[in-house]
């Protein structure tokens, strides 16, 4: 009788940290003096900035039609930049940030797609074009000095390009970190994946580890990006979720230190919640956490969960 598959493969819809459902994925910063207290909302000022209305492909070149659009500048709200804001996890992060009263700058590759999928007519939401593969200078322009922190929820789209994981999950993340360094943004949240360090965990023969590295060594690309963040000097929290589900959360959150979990699943809604809690909880600073949800897990506060993880 064949051995049963690991938990993560018993339910095909699960994806290990894929930010696209169709497929599985993969300097010293200046200290910011920006306050981390939530101030009252007073949308009194406005400013103009370019918004990309359409993108056309002409041969090998991409041309963009840009118009000047006036939008409300939400004064007094803490503004967070979300990279990969139209992804399955990134979109939930944007929605939850807005629901909690924060201002959001949504960094996306396709502005029209973002307009269709992100909340409409919300003065606290600003959509900007931001492709993490285009380098740190352009990303710094998109993030700008009004963002207090960056959440990276990007994920590459599968295709014939085997270098895509490195372009997005490695170089793209590094570009975001360098953009933060240029701007003096000193808070960075990365949504990564469990098993990124599977070889060191003795999981090299784990089917999940093998499967997720088939296309372009996805997990290795993510791991190297994590290592870059940890050496950058930026105040980081790296979140490694288990198999991602689109269903509402069930059970309670389990949070473990890095290189601990090798199976398990979690709702994307709960991953988004953890990312936002990491922004506002001092206990989350300079830590790598692995998360899944389990029905038999005890209910714990985020302060307790993050506080239980030691810095390395």
**Averaged over 34-39, what is the pLDDT?**
36
Q: Give the pLDDT score at 291.
A: 98
- Least confident span in 1-10, 96-105, 270-279: 1-10
pLDDT exceeds cutoff 70 at 28: no
Q: Give the pLDDT score at 45.
A: 37
For 137, the token pair is 């200078």
Instruction: Kindly report, residue by residue over 242-278, the tens digit of the pLDDT.
Output: 999 999 999 999 999 999 999 999 999 999 999 999 9
pLDDT exceeds cutoff 90 at 194: yes
pLDDT exceeds cutoff 80 at 20: no
Local confidence band at 284 (pLDDT 50, 70, 90 cut-offs): very high
* pTM of the predicted protein model: 0.76
pLDDT exceeds cutoff 50 at 41: no
Q: Give the pLDDT score at 105.
A: 98
Instruction: Kindly report, residue by residue over 287-308, the tens digit of the pLDDT.
Output: 999 999 999 999 999 999 999 9
306-312 — which CB contacts under 8 Å span 24+ positions? 306/255, 306/277, 306/278, 306/281, 307/283, 308/255, 309/255, 309/256, 309/257, 310/257, 311/285, 311/286, 311/287, 312/258, 312/288
CA 32 from chain centre, in angstroms, equals: 21
Mean pLDDT of the chain: 80
Share of the chain above pLDDT 90, in %: 65
For 69, the token pair is 């659009």
Q: Give the pLDDT score at 158.
A: 64
193 is a catalytic site residue: yes
Q: For residues 204 and 214, what is the distance between their CA atoms, to the nearest angstrom?
A: 12
Contact (CB, 8 A) for 117 and 88? no
On the CB side of 182, CA atoms within 13 Å amount to 16
Instruction: Kindly report, residue by residue over 113-132, the tens digit of the pLDDT.
Output: 899 999 988 999 999 999 99
CB atoms within 10 A of CB 215: 18
Say which residue, 55 or 188, is predicted with more confidence: 188
Contact (CB, 8 A) for 16 and 194? yes
pLDDT exceeds cutoff 70 at 2: no
Using left for φ > 0, alpha for ψ between -120 and 50, and beta otherwise, residue 94 falls in: alpha
**Averaged over 172-180, what is the pLDDT?**
97
Local confidence band at 39 (pLDDT 50, 70, 90 cut-offs): very low
pLDDT exceeds cutoff 70 at 281: yes
Which among 32, 136, 192, 193 is annotated as catalytic? 193
For 120, the token pair is 């409409």
């Amino acid at each position: 009788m064949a051995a049963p598959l690991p938990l993560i493969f018993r339910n095909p819809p699960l994806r290990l940290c894929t930010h696209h459902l169709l497929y599985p994925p993969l300097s010293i910063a200046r200290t910011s003096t920006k306050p981390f207290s939530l101030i009252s909302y007073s949308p009194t000022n406005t400013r103009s900035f370019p918004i990309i209305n359409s993108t056309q492909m002409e041969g090998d070149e991409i041309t963009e039609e840009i118009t000047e659009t006036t939008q409300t500048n939400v004064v007094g709200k803490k503004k967070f930049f979300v990279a990969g804001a139209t992804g399955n996890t990134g979109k939930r992060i944007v929605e939850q940030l807005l629901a909690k009263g924060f201002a959001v700058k949504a960094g996306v590759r396709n502005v029209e797609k973002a307009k269709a999928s992100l909340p409409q007519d919300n003065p606290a939401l600003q959509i900007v074009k931001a492709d993490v593969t285009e380098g740190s200078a352009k990303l710094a322009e998109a993030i700008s000095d009004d963002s207090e922190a960056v959440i990276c929820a990007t994920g590459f789209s599968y295709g014939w390009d085997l270098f895509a994981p490195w372009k997005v999950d490695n170089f793209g993340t590094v570009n975001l970190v360098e953009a933060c360094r240029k701007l003096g943004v000193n808070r960075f949240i990365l949504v990564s994946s469990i098993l990124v360090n599977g070889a060191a965990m003795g999981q090299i023969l784990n089917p999940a580890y093998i499967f997720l590295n088939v296309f372009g060594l996805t997990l290795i690309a993510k791991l190297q990006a994590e290592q870059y963040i940890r050496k950058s000097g930026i105040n980081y929290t790296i979140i490694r979720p288990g198999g991602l589900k689109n269903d509402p959360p069930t059970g309670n959150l389990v949070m473990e230190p890095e290189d601990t979990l090798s199976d398990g699943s979690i709702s994307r809604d709960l991953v988004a919640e953890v990312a936002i809690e990491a922004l506002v909880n001092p206990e989350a600073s300079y830590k790598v956490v692995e998360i899944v949800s389990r029905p038999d897990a005890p209910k714990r506060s985020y302060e307790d969960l993050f506080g239980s993880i030691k810095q390395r």
